[in-house]
Amino acid sequence: MTRDASAIGAGLAPARDARPIRAGERIHVVGAGGAGASAAALLAAGAGAIVTACDAAGPSPYTAAVANAGIDLVTGHDPAHVTSEPRPGRLAVTKALTAIDPDHRELRAARELGIPVEPWQQVIADAAVGRTLVAIAGTHGKSTTAGWLVHVLAEAGRDPSAFVGALLPPTLTGGAAATARIGQGDAFIVEADEYAGNFDAYRPAIAVLTSIEWDHPDVFADEAAVRASFVRWLGAMAPGGVVVANAADPAVAAILSRPELAGLKVIETGVDQAAEPTKGGIRATVIDAGTTGTTLAVTGLDGSGTLEVRLPTAGRHNAANALGVAGAAKVLGVATDAIVRGLQTFPGVGRRLERKGEIGGVVVYDDYGHHPTAIRATIEAVRQREPHRRVWAVYEPLTYHRTAALIAEFAASLATADGVVIADIWAGRDPDTTIASASALADAVAAERSDIPIAAPGSVDVTTDWLAREVRAGDVVLVMGGGHSYRIARDLLERLDMETAAR
Give the residue among 363, 28, 402, 365 at the shortest CA–CA distance from 214: 402
> Following DSSP, what letter does each residue of 301-332 receive, concatenated?
SSTTSEEEEEESS-SHHHHHHHHHHHHHHHHT
pLDDT of residue 117: 96
What pTM does this model have?
0.96
pLDDT of residue 148: 98
pLDDT of residue 279: 59
Query: Is omega for the bond preceding 387 within 30 degrees of 0, making it cis?
Result: no
Q: 449 pairs with which residues across the strands? A: none
Which residues, other chains included, contact 502 with Cβ-Cβ below 8 Å and sequence gap of 6+?
none
Q: Which domains does the chain have, with CATH numbers?
A: 5-124 (3.40.50.720), 130-344 (3.40.1190.10), 354-502 (3.90.190.20)
What are the DSSP E strand ranges found in 83-177?
90-93, 117-119, 132-137, 161-168
Give the residue among 471, 491, 496 at the shortest CA–CA distance from 359: 496
Secondary element (H or E) of residue 340: helix 336-344
The CA distance from 349 to 341, in Å, is 17
pLDDT of residue 1: 44
The CA distance from 235 to 238, in Å, is 8
The CA distance from 496 to 503, in Å, is 11
pLDDT tens, per residue, the chain with 503 residues: 444 455 677 789 988 999 999 999 999 999 999 999 999 999 999 999 999 999 998 899 999 999 999 999 999 999 999 999 999 999 999 988 887 788 899 999 999 999 999 999 999 999 999 999 999 999 999 999 999 999 999 999 999 999 999 999 999 999 999 999 999 999 999 999 999 999 999 999 999 999 999 999 999 999 999 999 999 999 999 999 999 999 999 999 999 999 999 999 999 999 986 555 555 699 999 999 999 999 999 999 987 789 999 999 999 999 999 999 999 999 999 999 999 999 999 999 999 999 999 999 999 999 999 999 999 999 999 999 999 999 999 999 999 999 999 999 999 999 999 999 999 999 987 878 999 999 999 999 999 999 999 999 999 999 999 999 999 999 999 999 999 999 999 999 999 999 888 87
List Cα–Cα distances, 405 to 128, 341, 374, 398, in angstroms.
36, 42, 16, 12
List Cα–Cα distances, 448 to 157, 255, 403, 420, 472, in angstroms.
50, 34, 16, 12, 24
